[in-house]
Chains A and B, each alone.
Chain A
Amino acid sequence: MNKISVIIKREYITRVRKKSFIIMTILAPVLMAAIIIVPTLIMMNQSGEFKKIAVIEDNSNLFKGVVKNTKDAEFVYLENTKVEELKKTFEKAGYYGILYISPELVNTPNAVYLISNKQPPIGLLQYIENSLKKEIERQKLLAYKIENLDDIMKNVETNVTVQTKKLDEFGVEKGTSTGIAMALAYILGFLMYMLVFIFGAQVMRGVIEEKTSRVVEVIISSVKPVQLMMGKIIGIALVGLTQFLIWIFLTVGIVGVLKSTILPKSGITEISQSVPQNFMSGNQQVAGTAQTTEMSPQLAEFSKMFDSAMNQPWGLIIVCFIFYFVTGYLLYASVFAAIGSAVDNETETQQFMLPVTIPIILGLMVAMGTMQNPESSLSFWCSMIPLTSPIVMMARIPFGVPYWEIVISMVIMLITFGAFVWMAAKVYRTGILMYGKKTSWKEMWKWLRYSG
């Protein structure tokens, strides 16, 4: 219908032209990119800082040479030095800190200290702990006088990672990762929540603006109220989709550009290697030859994650996301429009907002729970109930949902959405012409039954 398109156009253009829209649209991807890039930069800088650490053992020499030098840290074993003396001078002597190992360590696991003026990074601590632990275990085993102990130890050394495989409907195995599914569930559920809530609230504000400025009376002498309402809802939905798409493109673009300029060469794999460097070198003495086999474990893990991400049912996810966004948004936006029509200003919306907010928040909370336990009956029912299903179902889909459940949920959604739009249109039609009256739910119920 021609008039509806005129309304949609106005709603769309006035919003897209606003300064706040332009700023948000540009700023958000920059922030998103910063969230992705900054931690990696920090990690790179941290690992680049070289540390010299003095090791003092009170002349017991039980652990001499146990903690080996790494790419980032050198361990200098000092004899005939007292901790109390070195404490005053270690910084001037160029040490990052003092590692004090008491001879009691074999029996008292706490008898080791790292003294420093700074908070030592967790990776360094883990590396020291691991090295000492291995040595103590080795010494304790030695006490049993087992033959060929070194060979046995090498043989025993294992590294376990659970590989998850999911059977699809044809019985074909697919590599999956619960981590990826969880991340995806979180992103999808949260995105749905944001879109429905932010743009639904915009519809409400738009309706209130028209009502308080009394424009509405002129407009509905030209078009039907339901046309105005739907035009507004659709126009704002398009604004939302526009912003969403720009965000995706800009974020991908910015990350891409930064990756190729700030992190040259192999990019992401290099970062992922440099982080657990300490841990790897700790294994080297024992694992020995294992290091030479094809990829590093990090690369393997990364490619597995990538593989698993690609194995997600993207077609289904996109179709469902669009469906649930459109219907979920329309459902809530029409309720928001009805509320907006019933009040005289924004402060009066409070009493109506709570009952509308509760199902959305509930949906989000169940969606978070879904990530822990996608098969729970709470998740199932909330992905059927139309007020929560857009959020919860989107969180469930990455974990795999039978098609019949999706179909039933969608049918329920369609019916409810139709009913909500119909009711909202009736309330809206009466509400926008009512001024100066405190509206209640009871009053709105009466409006539902007014004739034309």
Chain B
Amino acid sequence: MALFEAKNVTKQYGNQLALDNVSISVPEQCIYGLLGPNGAGKTTLIRIINQITGPDSGELFLNGKKLMPADVQLIGYLPEERGLYKKMKIGEQALYFAQLKGLSKAEAMKRIKYWFKKLDIIDWWGKKVEELSKGMQQKVQFVTTVLHEPKLLIFDEPFTGFDPLNTKIIKNEILFLRERGATIIFSTHNMESVEELCDNITLIDKAKTILEGSVNEIRNKWAANEYDLIFEGDVKIEGNGHYNILKQQKDNNKSIFRLKTTSDINTNDILQTVMRSGNIISFNPALPSMNEIFIRVVEARN
């Protein structure tokens, strides 16, 4: 069942259309990628989900029910542009945000301590934000986002500003939150992390949805006719009427080829043809990276 759904959402700012009939459906406990070039309308959609602004038309559902103002307690939002009060101590600050989300002071304190310990920032409790490194500030912001244990978490570029080690820590925390039942909407330009984390995605460009589905399906679909073929030793093959060689390279006493079929020949027939040339050690469908798909889809529209 979908935890969150947006149906036919349209939003206009003055003469500019920010969202044009966009729908998304986020299954429960899924990590859902929200992708798109800059200015595509992602932030507007995220703001609508957070009820920061309202849509001109369209409907939003959380847990099958219409999204209500009180539902902000069930949503946690980490905006792309991080914001904390610079002159405020981080402990007090986390407490403030937790109380705004409706937690009692005692409960908030307990959870803040738990998270600060977990992310190793408990010693910084009384420091002001401006005294902390950027990574440290990001951790504080992450804690304030998840503190009220929301059902739906929205992360907008959560890894910027983190070193690889902290990126790994935060990645694991996100997966941990998902295991504990949270559903996550994840907006990023980092396609590697999309491949790594996301189950489903929606790609928005110029206010419209142009691609959606599960990451695996999309990659398989875009890869339908390409295969990676690896031989042992120095091997040469040539294209024929059924397939072309897109690229080839030699590496570590291996020969690697990327084939693209041009007719509806099946893979066994290809193998029968090429196995005469040498000793095959692997044959796989070549999945394009999300990066390639992103660029191809968006460029095709321009």
A residues sitting closer than 8 Å to B (CB atoms) are 2-3, 6-7, 10, 14, 209-210, 213-224, 433, 446, 450-452
Contact = CB atoms under 8 A, between A and B. Distances in A.
A218 B77 contact: yes
B294 to A, nearest CB: 25
B298 interface: no
B83 A221 contact: no
A217 B87 contact: no
Interface string B84-121: 11111000000011011110000000000000000000
Contacts of A451: 54, 56
B164 interface: no
17 contacts: A2-B102, A3-B99, A3-B100, A6-B99, A7-B100, A10-B96, A14-B85, A209-B85, A213-B84, A213-B86, A215-B83, A216-B83, A217-B52, A218-B79, A219-B97, A222-B100, A223-B100
Contacts of B241: none
Contacts of B100: 3, 6-7, 219, 222-223
A7 to B, nearest CB: 7
A235 to B, nearest CB: 13
B99 A213 contact: no
Given A214-B79, A215-B85, A216-B83, A222 B14 contact: no
Contacts of A223: 72, 100
Given A3-B100, A213-B86, A221 B77 contact: yes
A214 B47 contact: no
Give the residue among A10, A209, A218, A433 with the most B Cβ atoms within 10 A. Answer: A218
B85 A213 contact: yes
Q: Is the interface of B mostly helix, strand, loop or mixed?
A: loop
Interface string B6-39: 0000000110000000000000000000000000
Given A14-B88, A433-B47, A221 B54 contact: no
Given A3-B100, A14-B87, A446 B54 contact: no
Given A214-B79, A215-B84, 20 more contacts: A7-B100, A14-B85, A210-B83, A213-B85, A214-B81, A215-B85, A216-B83, A217-B52, A217-B79, A217-B83, A218-B79, A218-B97, A218-B141, A221-B52, A222-B72, A222-B100, A223-B72, A451-B54, A451-B56, A452-B53
B55 to A, nearest CB: 9
Contacts of A222: 72, 97, 100-101
Interface in B55-88: 56, 69, 72, 75, 77, 79, 81-88
A210 B50 CA distance: 18
A425 B223 CA distance: 52
B88 A221 contact: no
Contacts of A209: 85
Interface of B: 13-14, 47, 50-54, 56, 69, 72, 75, 77, 79, 81-88, 96-97, 99-102, 141, 144
Given A6-B100, A433-B52, A451-B56, A221 B85 contact: no
Contacts of A452: 53-54
A216 B53 CA distance: 13
Contacts of A3: 99-100, 102
A217 B81 contact: yes
A268 to B, nearest CB: 45
A11 to B, nearest CB: 11
B2 to A, nearest CB: 21
A284 to B, nearest CB: 67
Contact of A221 (B13, B75, B102, B141): B75
Contacts of A216: 83
B228 to A, nearest CB: 44
Contacts of B13: 450
A222 B79 CA distance: 13
Nearest to A228: B100
B208 to A, nearest CB: 22
Contacts of B84: 213, 215
B86 A221 contact: no
Contacts of A215: 83-85
A217 B46 CA distance: 11
B71 to A, nearest CB: 11
A219 B75 CA distance: 12
Nearest to A429: B53
B57 to A, nearest CB: 10
Contacts of B51: 221
A222 B88 CA distance: 19
A221 B96 contact: no
B85 A6 contact: no
Contacts of A10: 96
Contacts of B82: 214
B87 A221 contact: no
Nearest to A218: B83
A433 B53 contact: yes
Contacts of B69: 224
Contacts of B79: 214, 217-218, 221
A221 B69 CA distance: 10
